[in-house]
Amino acid sequence: MKRALITGITGQDGSYLTEFLLSQGYAVDGLTRNTQPANTTRLNHLLAGNGAQPPALRLHQGDLLSTRRLRALIEQVQPDEIYHLAAPSRPGPAAEPPDWRGDITVLGTLHLLEALRRSGTPAKFFHAASAEIFGPAPPPQSETTPLAPASRYAAAKGHATRLTRIYRQRYGLFAANGILFNHESIRRSNRYVSRKITQAVAAIATGEQYYLYLGNLNARRDWGYAPDYVAAMWLMLQQPQADDFVIGSGQAYTVKDFVAAAFDYAGLDWQAHVRFDPRFYRPGETYCPQADIGKIGSVLGWRPRTCFQALIRLMVDAELKLKECAYQLTIDNRQL
């Protein structure tokens, strides 16, 4: 049985990756941060009703800034594969708190790579890099696009990406960067525009809300579906040699396209419900992501299975189902 260690297991990607790996027969160990209790909302369906962990899934607490702790964990778990997904989320420059620091993103990656190197464990290492490292580079962006980060988050991700390459080239680790473009799902935080839109569509469709306030409707993104992307992460670690790959859809759409498709799918007229709010506007945004997925397609045979329209349908359906469940729960509670 193969064993995987996942940092950031409690996040969107961590939870989908855990499901995927368990379905492939892996045993999964997840590192959570030292919070009591760990935030397992996205993993609860995999844990037993009493919160117990099934034998194939174990959670461990630990500090990503402690090489010693990480090394002990790697030596205890003896993973075949390590997926390093933990990083502070950053929905946009305006949302970066003033004391935001890239220490977990940069130093967490460094400590984990160093712990792996010192342990001598021959595990394959995946780092979740971000398309934001390319900054305002004109589309499409590929593995050879120069790094030009334009925010603190992007700069931190750029450093972590370079560290991963250094450990591959200089220390011979199997260490690979997946350069991820936006990927969404019902498990995405609603601080991101995709989820904010689909959540609002469900609330408007059920009469709980009337207006949705957004910033720049012309901002473009390359959006994909998170479960497709975790399969690409896994595929990258099944190769004989480590390499970096861009993981995206290859298509760019505007926020307005997203809004129109989501409202249309729910039978609503978006223009009646969407209003501009300058608080969500990011002036001078030159970021125009669109993945060139030629390399991952030709080398790994990966391509996203879920197109833009299907992603939106999936997300709106899931939001409506969540509302239905919440409504049913209220009815059930009233009957008690």
Write out the residues near ligand NAP by the rule CB under 6 A.
8, 10-14, 33, 35, 39, 64, 85-89, 104, 128, 130, 180, 182-183
Of 16, 153, 167, 253, which one is the catalytic site residue? 153
> Closest CB to ligand NAP among 13 and 244?
13
204 or 293: whose CB is closer to ligand NAP? Answer: 293
- Region at 174 (left for phi over 0; alpha for psi -120 to 50; beta for the rest): beta
Rounded to 5 degrees, φ, ψ at 214 are: -135, 165
Closer to ligand NAP at the Cβ: 191 or 275? 191
Annotated catalytic residue 194:
no
φ and ψ of 192, to 5 deg: -95, 145
Which is closer to ligand NAP, CB of 204 or CB of 319?
319
Write the CA distances from 229 to 248, 294, 305, integer angstroms. Answer: 8, 15, 10
> Which of 19, 81, 130, 253 is an active site residue?
130
Residue 256: count of CB within 10 angstroms of its CB: 16
Q: Please confirm whether the linkage preceding 140 is cis (ω < 30° from 0).
A: yes
Q: Which of 132, 167, 184, 194 is catalytic?
A: 132
**Gap between the Cα atoms of 21 and 3, Å rounded:** 9
> Does 55 sit behind a cis peptide bond, omega within 30 degrees of 0 on the bond before it?
no
Taking the chain, what is the end-to-end CA distance rounded to the nearest angstrom? 46
**Least distance CB 206 / ligand NAP (angstroms):** 26
Nearest distance from residue 247's CB to ligand NAP, in Å?
9
Q: What are phi and psi of 59, to 5 degrees?
A: -110, 140
CB of 89 vs ligand NAP, minimal distance in Å:
4
Provide the minimum distance between the beta carbon of 19 and ligand NAP in the complex, in angstroms, as a whole number.
Answer: 13
CA atoms within 13 A on the CB side of 118: 14
Distance CA 219, CA 202 (A): 23
Q: Which is nearer to ligand NAP, 45 or 170 (CB)?
A: 45
Instruction: Provide, rounded to whole angstroms, the least separation between the CB of residue 257 and ligand NAP.
Output: 17
Helix axes 308-335, 255-265, angle to 10 degrees: 50
The yes-or-no answer on residue 225 being catalytic is no
Which one, 223 or 270, has the nearer CB to ligand NAP? 223
CA distance 17 to 20: 5
Residue nearest to ligand NAP (CB): 11
Active site (annotated) includes residue 130: yes
Min separation Cβ 170 and ligand NAP, Å: 23
CA dihedral sign, ordered 76, 81, 84, 85: negative
Cβ closest to ligand NAP, residue 62 vs residue 206: 62
User: What is the smallest separation between the CB atom of 336 and ligand NAP, expressed in angstroms?
Assistant: 32
Q: What gap in Å lies between CA 157 and CA 181, rounded to an integer?
A: 13
Q: Which of 39, 88, 85 is nearest to 59 (CA)?
A: 39
Residues carrying an active site annotation: 130, 132, 153
